[in-house]
Structure 1
């Protein structure tokens, strides 16, 4: 089996592992088997630096790494960028929709950048605002 692009999720609190668990619950392990979630708690700590460095190193099996972060520029994302031995491609906006799309993609043939752009496009299309129509006025019985 060809090597796949490594995926590391990072998010505040327990968001990374919670979203990965939810996505696996919907689409099964297929496509998300070796995705690693790193929960950052409240932000950058020595423990987070160590865990992110190890996760990013383990994820890189020769085809590069895509780090999906909850917020670009926030401490967990910045920490991951600094701790990576080689600069990862970063997709910000970690969400359930991003992970569902990721599960359907072939990480053995797409580059980290192609994966990021495809997931970002899918997430943008999934955003919606629904405003209900006003209820019709009731007729007076007087």
Structure 2
């Protein structure tokens, strides 16, 4: 084998290895990326069976405990509400009128089946994605203000977040 041919063979094998590594990396990223939606975003373009995160406020009067550890509630961005069901231990800070991020899948029946719930950790913090979604929907005040009831009208004001 000539020198030129050997170099060409090494270069071809290196490119093949690099291409394989890139394909495996991209495949792993695609499987692990979880997109964030507000209830309005989810209503406009459903994700089609993918695992996603939704965020908003737990609507006042919507929290219902069913048998065992199953709860149902509505997540709202004040423009749209989405029914959510979750089986498991609720975070200590989970309550109506507070910010929540739920990870799971949207069922064919329009109910979001959450596998994980994240609640805000104090009175001043709200996940940035939730705060942005609520701001776009015109939520008044700041996190921790009075709970939002279904169909209730609000005046628009600034939503403050502290990262």
* TM bucket normalised to smaller: under 0.3
Structure having the larger proportion of residues in strand: 2
Of the two structures, which has the highest relative contact order with CA contacts closer than 8 Å and spacing of 6 or more? 1
Q: TM-score, normalised by structure 2?
A: 0.21
Q: Which has the larger share of helix? A: 1
- Normalised by the size of structure 1, how large is the TM-score? 0.22
